[in-house]
Copies of this chain bind each other. A is one copy, B any other.
Amino acid sequence: MKLTSKGRYAVMALVDLAKFNSINPVSLRDISLRQGISLDYLEQIFSKLRKKEIVQSVRGIQGGYVLNKKAKEIKLTNIFDAVDEKVKTVQCKKESKKGCNGRSSKCLTHDLWDELENHINNFFEKKSLEDLIKDNFERRI
């Protein structure tokens, strides 16, 4: 089970954005340089974040992105959802009555994986961008 770079970068970039989110929009170029993430890749990521209304874009010179909500209201769940970083523990379609391996019913471990998926998603639902900035700030005192 591993976290992909897309998800990791999305959160990294938003923490960066939130930290520098004073009055001016933050350009992807700056985030790219500060966090060492490819600019082209960031563009893909922010395009998705914008579509899900997590950030707002400001075009032209001095442009960039700003948060579209309060940091407190942006949960990891929202971020991951926006960039399609989903937690997937089962192979079977969840809605379907069929099990994995094309079986006619759910397998012996299906409930376990469901439980695991919830356990992980809980973590994401609890953590907000604000929490992350705070942690980050406190660590630096």
Contact = CB atoms under 8 A, between A and B. Distances in A.
Interface of A: 1-5, 7-8, 11-12, 15-16, 19, 35-37, 85-91, 100-103, 107-109, 111-113, 116, 119-120, 123, 127, 132, 135-136, 139
Contacts of A112: 11, 127, 132, 135
Nearest to A89: B3
Counting every copy of the chain, the complex holds 2
Given A1-B120, A37-B101, A101-B37, A16 B87 contact: no
Contacts of A90: 3, 8
A2 B120 CA distance: 11
Nearest to A36: B101
A2 B89 contact: yes
A6 to B, nearest CB: 11
Chain B CB within 10 A, most for which of A12, A16, A132, A136: A12
Given A37-B101, A107-B35, A113 B16 contact: no
Contacts of A35: 101, 107-108
Nearest to A102: B36
A87 B101 CA distance: 24
B36 A103 contact: yes
Contacts of A119: 119-120, 123
